[in-house]
Amino acid sequence: MTVTIVGSQLGDEGKGGIVDLYGEEADVVVRYQGGDNAGHTVVHEGEEYKLSLVPSGAIRDKVGVLGNGCVVNPRTLFDEIDTLRDRGLEPDVRVARRAHVILPYHRILDGIEEEAKSESDQKVGTTGRGIGPTYEDKAGRRGIRVGDLLDPDVLRERLEYVVPQKRALAEDVYGVETGEEFDVDALYEEFQEIGERLAENDMTVNAGEFLDDRLAAGENVMFEGAQGTIIDIDHGNYPYVTSSNPTAGGAATGTGLSPAVAGQGEIIGIVKAYLTRVGKGPLPTELGGVEGDTPGYDAEAGNDTDELAKYIREEGGEYGTVTGRPRRVGWLDMPMLRHAARVNGFTGLAVNHLDVLAGLDEVKVGHAYTVDGETKLTMPATTEQWGDCDCEFRVFEGWPEVDWADVAADGYDALPENARAYLEYISDELGAPVYAIGVGPGRSETIVCEQPW
Ligand code: GDP
Ligand code: IMO
Ligand code: MG
């Protein structure tokens, strides 16, 4: 069977930890979209692993697959595999031949476009990993796929077509001087060697066929979503989104398995007990602000929720895994989560970071929006309208700081009563049971209510 792990908010909900938790029963863990813009953390027995590209099942020695929906930076992939080997793991990673390759010029173009947009205040605040430009080339049918790296003639032909275009874009449109990132010979040399390494290590697969065979043999496949629903290119707050589909439908298109395969399995929405966001865009439940990212926020002037925002940011260690940027924080946003529950069809929820909110007198939740005098229970389709939404808050009594390791060992009933009331509200509103509750970063700091397998 399959289990799909999906971020229900804006990324960094703690997906890596839940993949690791439920990964025990998985045989294969597959990423179906995104690339090294992801930063998934697994903490076990005091060891912390931060993974950008290698699926999080690697920590349990599960076979990892990067599906066709991913964009793969081979430099990151090999660096990450080597680092994990140095730490005593044996990552077995297969890469879809249909996946697209992030080339050095994609990263440069990502930076150039962000810079250009910043002049008109349209910057997205990307991770700078070249994700958008690579998906653009995929859609423009000028991308280079992993399979192309295995055939030097095809690689050469594709580079000769695309690289002069990219060079002209950088130089003639943006007026930026280019270097070897835009040089056909240098790129050919590096990437055909990468193709050789992939072939020598038998790392490339026809992902759909590979996964179908494993399922037919009775194995369990876990789909590891990266990013989150509200930064999905279709269902998120465009244009402040990533360029792929983190939502559950991506598990089919991004792997080569039928929607019925993922649809028959469990789809677990990962919910952070509050909200964080890295980068630009509206955030109706935001507390405090991060200058440059929060619309209209001026750090010097500050605002009356700054202290609370700083408290949550520090307690939760809310700094980007990939970029180290301070994450914007806010209260839980139920219209956002209702939208996510509909788009993804969650069969269960994992609610993380409940410990971070402990000790607050009260915990608020944006229960509904008011916009143009109307009450709305779900997100409007345009980002401008979303930015105009005011929140109607529900206030929950806070729960105390307790020994979370003990609570995790004792189970759900050991949670403080007010924390249980909060979880029950979330579950009722979304019509999905809570399968797991994170009360700390480690594998053992999780209350497991249901096993999805
Ligand atoms: P992902 O991108 O969704 O995998 O999440 P990240 O790894 O980027 O960010 C989640 C951060 O919170 C990591 O540092 C995790 O170790 C940590 N974390 C995950 N679950 C919990 C939790 O329940 N409580 C606390 N305090 N930290 C958690
Ligand atoms: P994980 O998997 C949080 C955000 C960036 C930016 C926007 C577009 O760790 O949850 P991109 O580089 O993808 O073109 O950036 O998306 N973003 C993330 N935010 N967690 C992530 O991944 C993210 N991946 C991208 O900050 O706003
Ligand atoms: Mg992350």
Is 410 among the residues known to form the active site? no
Does residue 246 have its Cβ closer than 6 Å to ligand 1?
A: no
Any atom of ligand 1 within 6 Å of the Cβ of 442 = no
Atom from ligand 1 closest to the CA of residue 442: 16
Q: Which ligand is nearest to the CA of 113?
A: 2
Among this protein's residues, is 339 annotated catalytic?
no
How would you write the pLDDT of the chain (453 residues) with one tens digit per residue?
999 999 999 999 999 999 999 999 999 999 999 999 999 999 999 999 999 999 999 999 999 999 999 999 999 999 999 999 999 999 999 999 999 999 999 999 999 999 999 888 788 889 999 999 999 999 999 999 999 999 999 999 999 999 999 999 999 999 999 999 999 999 999 999 999 999 999 999 999 999 999 999 999 999 999 999 999 999 999 999 999 999 999 999 999 999 999 999 999 999 999 999 998 899 999 999 999 899 989 999 999 999 999 999 999 999 987 778 899 999 999 999 999 999 999 999 999 999 999 999 999 999 999 998 999 999 999 999 999 999 999 999 999 999 999 999 999 999 999 999 999 999 999 999 999 999 999 999 999 999 999
Ligand nearest to the CA of residue 277, numbered in listed order: 2
The CATH class for the domain spanning 271-448 reads: alpha beta
Cβ neighbours of residue 151 closer than 8 Å, sequence gap 6 or more: 195
Domain 2-96+209-269: what homologous superfamily? Adenylosuccinate Synthetase, subunit A, domain 1 (3.40.440.10)
Question: Are 226 and 40 within 8 A, CB to CB?
Answer: yes
pTM given for the model: 0.97
User: Helix 131-139 crosses helix 104-118 at what angle (to 10 degrees)?
Assistant: 110
Nearest CA to ligand 2 atom 23: 227
Alpha carbon of 40 to ligand 3 centroid (Å): 5
438 Cβ inside 6 Å of ligand 1: yes
Residue with tokens 């929060």: 294
SS3 for 311-342, per residue?
HHHHHHCCECCCCCCECEEECEEHHHHHHHHH
Measured by CA distance, the residue closest to atom 28 of ligand 1 is: 441
Tell how far the Cα of 371 is from the centroid of ligand 2, in angstroms: 27
Superfamily of domain 101-198: Adenylosuccinate Synthetase, subunit A, domain 2 (1.10.300.10)
CA–CA separation, 393 vs 33, rounded Å? 34
Q: How far is the CA of 344 from the centre of ligand 3 (A)?
A: 19
DSSP states of 162-202: HHHHHHHIIIIIT-----GGG-HHHHHHHHHHHHHHHHHTT
SS3 266: strand
Residue 63 C-alpha to ligand 1 middle, in angstroms? 23
281 backbone φψ class: left, alpha, beta (φ>0; ψ -120 to 50): left
Q: Which of 20, 27, 36, 40 is catalytic?
A: 40
Closest listed residue to residue 114, CA positions, set 274, 292, 269, 258: 292
Distances (CA, A) of 171 to 97, 109, 110, 185, 330: 31, 11, 14, 18, 41
Nearest to 258 by CA among 249, 246, 245, 247: 249
Phi, psi at 316, each rounded to 5°: -90, 0
Place of tokens 């390759």: 101
Closest CA to 20 of 51, 57, 45, 66: 57
Secondary structure of residue 396 in the 3-state scheme:
strand
Q: Which atom of ligand 1 is nearest to the CA of 16?
A: 4
**Could you tell me the sign of the dihedral formed by the alpha carbons of 77, 11, 351, 220, in that order?**
negative
The amino acid sitting at 404 is W
- Partners of 224 in the beta sheet? 5, 31
Among 330, 249, 368, which Cα is nearest to 4's? 249
Delimit the domains of the chain by residue range. 2-96+209-269, 101-198, 271-448
Nearest to 19 by CA among 38, 40, 34, 39: 40
